Structure 1
Amino acid sequence: MDEKIQSAYQEEMLRLEHTSKKIDQQLERLQRIPAYYGKDLTEQVLDSMREQSRRNLSKAVDEPYFGRLDFQESGKGAPTPYYIGKAGIEEEGSSKLLVIDWRAPVASLFYSFTGGLDAAAYDSPDGLIDGLVYLKRNVVIRKQILQRVVDTFDREQDSLAAHDEFLLYRLGENKDNKLRDIVSTIQAEQDRIIRAAKNTALIIQGVAGSGKTTVALHRLAYLLYQYRDQIRAEKMIIFAPNRMFLDYISSVLPELGVGDIQQNTFSDWALDILEQEVKLADPTVTLNTWFAIGPNRPEINEHAPGRFKGSLSFKEDLEQKLASFEQIYIPSSSFQPWEGKVLPIQTIHEWFFVENNHYPLAKRRDRVVARIKRWLEMELEPIWEMSRKKELKQKSAQKLRTYLKSWPEHTALSLYQLLYPDTQFKHKTVQHEDLAPLLFVHCRLHGIPSERMFDHVVVDEAQDFSPFQIAVLDMFTRNRSFTILGDLSQGIHAYQGIMDWKEFSSMFPEEQSGYFELERSYRSTMEIIQFANSVLSRGGQTGLLAVPVFRSGDKVRILQTEKSERMKMLIKALNRIRAGSSSTIAVIARTEKQSEKLYGNLQQAGIPCNSISSRQREYKGGISVLPVYLAKGLEFDAVILMDVDGEHYTSSIIDAKLLYVGCTRCLHELWLLYSGEASPLVDLQDRENISTEFPQ
């Protein structure tokens, strides 16, 4: 071992021993203090602080920190070593910090500093702090054992040579069935997104494997740390494409010490607000229609039902119809409870359009009806003859019931159908594209209670959201605080989603929005990324292509097999992959029906595997069999794509995006099997990145 490396390792061993001892002492002391169950507010606060410290210390026991930054602030005599971890740890009896929280201002230098001898700076509550970075060091600690020490910058050498080496070391680790945090490897371009101001609508175009989902989750943790007095975790929400994806990302926030953040799909959230007034049509019908094989698949354009009902022009039309409806909503005639007594329509108009104008429609109706009832009571009050009073009371009640029939109470569904008579829903079953309009109508009827408002909203796979959906979410979000992320190259649900990020950015003021591009892919090897890029290019995609980090691996395996032999070849490929180090493997079919058949065949062959369907709520790891359109957002060590021929993957842009999604799911190994002629999206002449031979 090099003398300098050995010295650094010994130094970090001593520091780890010191830190671990301090953490153990603090944790032992705190665990001896019994929990407080009394009613004294001061003691409750102190107990809560102790519990938070216990959690932080317990989390830090095995891996107290992952990085070190030696920074000399201008005007100070010597550099200070800052150790950076997932949680800040104070040294008892001292103002000194044993470990700096990764979200702290000074820790931003660990991510943003990219080398050089010039001064560096970070924003602090006291203003800009500048100085010199002397050392940037990555360390890997597992179960209190120091495993790796890598200096990614040393001022004495002005070197960043080891930076990529450490990144590749972390990227080369195998996947399990959960997404992991990336606090130790956050890159400068990712850090800028994470630390962006709260009241901003961020739109992030990130290529496959750029870490955009993980960045968004880390941004939530940062916002809670930085704006702890302004926002609450339970007022933040993540919208994901499906329940299985939520399960897949479920461990990241707890690892970062963050709990209570809401996680949902747009459809489940919408149905909850609509109080289950409607049911959602089976999504598999839509999926099987749009992802069918052959010429019968519908064409995706702006006239597709999902795109039309999800557009801002449809929202404007709905707004105009609601405004017109409001003008004719109340009865057109005066109310006459009995002969000789009249409540003029002008008075009812005044109550509805002036006095209660600031209330939503249903609330205004309720208040005006209550006002009419009070008026009746006041008119009946002077009548002293009891029999006459009783007669008029009964008569007026009947008259009011008749009068209110011309002023019916509406639900979101009944009003939506009234405004669009051609839109009828059998058994109150609606399509996904109807949810945003229904929510909009619901809000106009009932308003938005304060407890339903969000402090920050994350929309993942946002290219599959419609502008109308984002507009509705904006109504529920304070200060337009959004993190909207996705990849247009993976826009396989374009029948309901967007074609350009401008469809979203145009909805926010320029000074209150930001657009970022993440073009580096950290997931797959160079060979896989370059092959996947060629698939997009051959399909006519001209957008942002992924730039791989310098991590080389096996060539992409593209194997031809007879149809009768495809299952034998699949099992042979699986056995070869399983003999290596891969622990998560995906077998990806073109459709859900084909996926189910493959799953059954593998089960019969005795291959342990899990089937993933559109109704799935949990990703279990191991070998997964799934259709390509459900693979988006997931990661595997290895992927086998089935039936990559001209019938299953044509040269169309949607098929190119589907195949691109399948190719970019893997970290280390990609296999494509086909019979007959290969898909026109596959370049069999690309000998630099592919191999057509089964590995020996």
Structure 2
Amino acid sequence: MPAEPSRQSASTTPDAELAAEQAHLDRARAELARMREHTLSLQADGGDAIAGESLARTLWLRARALQDDPRTTLFFGRLDTDTPERLYIGRRHVSDDAGDPVVIDWRAGVSTAFYRAGPAEPMGVLRRRRFGVEAGRLTAYEDELLEAGGSGTSGESGGEILAREIERPRIGPMRDIVATIQPEQDEIVRADVATTICVQGAPGTGKTAVGLHRAAWLLYAFRERLSRTGVLVVGPNRAFLEHVGAVLPSLGEVSVRHATLEELLGSVPVRAQDDPHVARLKGEARMAEVLERVVWSHVRPATEPLVVPRGAHRWRVPAYAVQDILDELRSRGVRYAAARAMLAQRLAHAVLVVMESAGDSPDDRVQDAVARSAPVRAYVKSVWPELTPAAMVASLLSTGEGLEEDQRAMVWDRPRTPRTARWTTADLALLDEAADLIERTPSLGHVVLDEAQDLSPMQLRAVGRRAATGSLTVLGDIAQGTTPWSTGSWEESLQHLGKPLGREEVHLEVLDRGFRVPASVIDYAARLLPEMAPGLGAPRSVRSHPGRLEVTRVQDPVPGTVDAARELSALEGSLGVIVPDAWVGRVGAALAAAGVEHEVLDGSHAEERILPVHLVPATVAKGLEFDQVVVTEPAAIAAAEPDRRTGLRRLYVVLTRAVSGLTVVHADDLPGPLAGAGKTG
């Protein structure tokens, strides 16, 4: 058994050492305030209006990043090395007026040792200190003595302060995990900007937080590059994005864009919903080939010569010569609109060649004039018409032309125009694919894609093209796939994203150590895995406390849910009441009648108040976490899905939202794998 590092803890009673550390924190806060005041005092004089506005925004973002949060501390750890210098590790860099560091940003290279040093590989660290925090004050500290040459295993130590921080109750949005990042998580966070990483993460392994911290680290390490190209976080719904939206600002990053997939691809309003079978067809990768054929089928053969009157002459380019130009442009691999823009100049050049062969000496100005002339523009329109994505996809779904026999189910029951079409979510990916075939989609520097297992091949292609020249952090759990098209393998998903496994810069990582979900809860939910995701390994909880699990059968699950919620709402932290979607109204009314104040998370937004009790439809629960969770009628949650496997996966998702305790309230029999399992208090 490897030896643990020597650990020393201070009590919560103030002593001289703790008072000295608090004094350093007070000094750091004063220096941060000075840095912010200095930034606010700077004048945005960029030399002209545009440069001045850009500089003003830069200064505003800088000042916002330097805001102090009195609920937290500016540092959470300290490293003592074999030099006299002590390194305080925190959420952002703080320096004194001479430029010397008071707090070192956790993303700096020297901070890596805080997360990875251990007795087997101390990385020059003699002592690692973690601080206990309450309401922005230091209440305790705990030391790990990492003696060089020791036989401990790096990363397996932690101590009580680390455990308390991981398990600490919370209300409101997701917190950063910067004080508790584990070695295997840190490896992912600090991967190079050119590396695309796919993280298969079981519930409670912190995969979402790891992805967000990776975005923050990339912006720190490659700020100049990514400030130009941009960073985007894509999440499953607006409630989820609001839940995680506080993480990056808490780390000093405020310029990252957040979007749901519908918002990202929202070129038209969604006004209808597809049948699951039709949605699956629209999401298949072969639709990309159909759309490509349809786009390029609009290029018509040249059957007539191009005739351009100019002065006393009528210059003629034969049809076969025009066809050669069309064939050459189609073979160049450029987008439809780009090739169309080239066509006018290519035709004008062909006219100039005819002029020169007749003895004229036209120059570039003549070629430009010919390219803009009415005959050339009319000819271009006749052989290479303008296209819009909406018109093209509407035509495809109205006529079915180009579709295979089994795809005919996608065709609308009557012809529709882009204006009258009732577009669906699955149509957005078709429209985006068509738009990219016509004009290239700009690429960002980095995209973080969460809950990626739920995206169809066409949706994955849409996200992937936004990182065509950048990189991706892909986060998900195959066991939590709850859409009809959810992926069966990350190899397949990465292929659709344009980042296939096998490339040196594409890595697949597995996180299976659960830090947020207690053992009793994860073991209970894992009983579903053999039936819903055979072959996928069960996660393991490393929490010191096994948590609370209660499975209660009642006559009526609605009052049973209210009773459980009333009791649990008295505990510290947040409470999620997760119910079948169709039950939200009934349960919400019952909670209100019982005086249990709550807010509803409907997937599009959360109410402005931050309350400890949240009523959550089962289909919105993915990615959210609560200290205590009540799950109402598991059988109804599973039965609401189109098939048994998807129903069990949905149930697996809702059962793994609890950080401290889970109460299952049911009247109907539990789904088979859960029957008779783990009824503990």
Deviation string, structure 1 residues 469-493 (Cα, Å, up to 9, x no partner): 3333333325441100101111011
1: distance between equivalents of 2:8 and 2:550?
43
Match of 2:336 in 1: 361
Q: Which amino acid aligns with 2:27?
A: K
1:332 to 291, 303, 308: 303
Unaligned runs of 5+ in 1: 73-77, 122-131, 291-303, 383-392
Q: Which amino acid aligns with 1:349?
A: Q
Q: Is the 8 A contact 1:609 1:623 kept in 2?
A: yes
Q: Does 1:597 align with 2:586?
A: yes
Q: Is the 8 A contact 1:361 1:445 kept in 2?
A: yes
2:467 to 472, 477, 485: 477
Q: Is the 8 A contact 2:239 2:602 kept in 1?
A: no
2: distance between equivalents of 1:19 and 1:539?
50
1: distance between equivalents of 2:66 and 2:455?
40
How far has the Cα of 1:306 moved from its partner?
3.7
Match of 1:66 in 2: 76
How far has the Cα of 1:220 moved from its partner?
0.6
Match of 2:367 in 1: none
2: distance between equivalents of 1:457 and 1:616?
22
Match of 1:415 in 2: 392
1:499 to 463, 488, 492: 488
Q: Which 10-residue stretch deviates more, 675-684 or 368-377?
A: 368-377
Match of 1:38 in 2: 45
Q: Cα gap change, 1:513/1:234 in structure 2, threshold over 3 Å: closer, same or farther?
A: closer
Q: Which amino acid aligns with 1:626?
A: V
2: distance between equivalents of 1:558 and 1:103?
43
1: distance between equivalents of 2:637 and 2:25?
61
Q: Is the 8 A contact 1:330 1:407 kept in 2?
A: no
2: distance between equivalents of 1:223 and 1:246?
20
Q: Cα gap change, 1:601/1:345 in structure 2, threshold over 3 Å: closer, same or farther?
A: farther
Match of 2:551 in 1: 558
How far has the Cα of 1:48 moved from its partner?
9.2
Q: Which amino acid aligns with 1:16?
A: Q
SS where residue 346 of structure 1 aligns? helix
Q: Which amino acid aligns with 1:415?
A: M
Q: Does 1:457 align with 2:447?
A: yes
Q: Is the 8 A contact 2:203 2:539 kept in 1?
A: yes
Q: Is the 8 A contact 2:515 2:543 kept in 1?
A: no
2: distance between equivalents of 1:43 and 1:319?
44
How far has the Cα of 1:226 moved from its partner?
1.1
1:354-393 counterparts in 2 under 5 A?
A: 354=328, 357=332, 359-369=334-344
Q: Is the 8 A contact 1:637 1:666 kept in 2?
A: yes
Q: Is the 8 A contact 2:248 2:254 kept in 1?
A: yes
1:245-324 counterparts in 2 under 5 A?
A: 245-271=240-266, 276=267, 278-282=268-272, 285=273, 304-319=277-292, 322=295
How far has the Cα of 1:19 moved from its partner?
4.9
Q: Does 1:577 align with 2:603?
A: no
Q: Which amino acid aligns with 1:179?
A: M
1: distance between equivalents of 2:379 and 2:63?
66
Q: Is the 8 A contact 2:633 2:666 kept in 1?
A: yes
Deviation string, structure 1 residues 57-85 (Cα, Å, up to 9, x no partner): 6437762210011222xxxxx46421100
How far has the Cα of 1:397 moved from its partner?
6.1
Q: Does 1:223 align with 2:206?
A: no
Q: Which amino acid aligns with 1:133?
A: V
2: distance between equivalents of 1:22 and 1:477?
38
2: distance between equivalents of 1:26 and 1:573?
45
SS where residue 10 of structure 2 aligns? helix
Match of 1:386 in 2: none
2:93 to 84, 88, 95: 88
Q: Cα gap change, 1:46/1:400 in structure 2, threshold over 3 Å: closer, same or farther?
A: closer
Match of 1:627 in 2: 617
Q: Which 10-residue stretch deviates more, 208-217 or 410-419?
A: 410-419
2: distance between equivalents of 1:26 and 1:607?
41
Q: Does 1:610 align with 2:599?
A: yes
Match of 2:457 in 1: 467
SS where residue 681 of structure 1 aligns? helix
1: distance between equivalents of 2:467 and 2:456?
17
Deviation string, structure 1 residues 187-215 (Cα, Å, up to 9, x no partner): 11110000011111211000011111111
Q: Which amino acid aligns with 2:95?
A: E
SS where residue 583 of structure 2 aligns? helix
**TM-score, normalized by length of structure 2?**
0.81
How far has the Cα of 1:169 moved from its partner?
0.5
1:346 to 313, 320, 323: 320
2: distance between equivalents of 1:554 and 1:352?
69
**TM-score, normalized by length of structure 1?**
0.79
1:667-678 counterparts in 2 under 5 A?
A: 667-678=659-670
Match of 2:19 in 1: 13
Q: Is the 8 A contact 1:239 1:266 kept in 2?
A: yes
Alignment RMSD (CA, Å) = 3.9
Q: Does 1:177 align with 2:172?
A: yes
Deviation string, structure 1 residues 7-59 (Cα, Å, up to 9, x no partner): 99532421431452365257348637833143469999999998787656643
2: distance between equivalents of 1:81 and 1:306?
58
Q: Does 1:640 align with 2:630?
A: yes
Q: Does 1:526 align with 2:519?
A: yes
Match of 2:656 in 1: 664
Q: Cα gap change, 1:108/1:162 in structure 2, threshold over 3 Å: closer, same or farther?
A: closer
Q: Which 10-residue stretch deviates more, 483-492 or 243-252?
A: 243-252
Q: Which amino acid aligns with 1:674?
A: H
Q: Which 10-residue stretch deviates more, 369-378 or 177-186?
A: 369-378
2: distance between equivalents of 1:222 and 1:535?
36
2: distance between equivalents of 1:643 and 1:465?
27
Q: Which 10-residue stretch deviates more, 344-353 or 197-206?
A: 344-353
Match of 2:363 in 1: none
Q: Is the 8 A contact 2:36 2:66 kept in 1?
A: no
2: distance between equivalents of 1:462 and 1:187?
23
How far has the Cα of 1:265 moved from its partner?
1.6
SS where residue 329 of structure 1 aligns? coil
Q: Cα gap change, 1:103/1:409 in structure 2, threshold over 3 Å: closer, same or farther?
A: same
Q: Is the 8 A contact 1:35 1:47 kept in 2?
A: no
SS where residue 182 of structure 1 aligns? coil
Q: Cα gap change, 1:414/1:53 in structure 2, threshold over 3 Å: closer, same or farther?
A: closer
2: distance between equivalents of 1:34 and 1:314?
55
Q: Which amino acid aligns with 2:625?
A: E
How far has the Cα of 1:308 moved from its partner?
4.0
How far has the Cα of 1:312 moved from its partner?
3.4
Q: Which amino acid aligns with 1:5?
A: A
1: distance between equivalents of 2:8 and 2:466?
59
Q: Cα gap change, 1:496/1:646 in structure 2, threshold over 3 Å: closer, same or farther?
A: closer
Q: Which amino acid aligns with 1:412?
A: P
Match of 2:362 in 1: none
Q: Cα gap change, 1:673/1:420 in structure 2, threshold over 3 Å: closer, same or farther?
A: same
1:206 to 186, 201, 212: 201
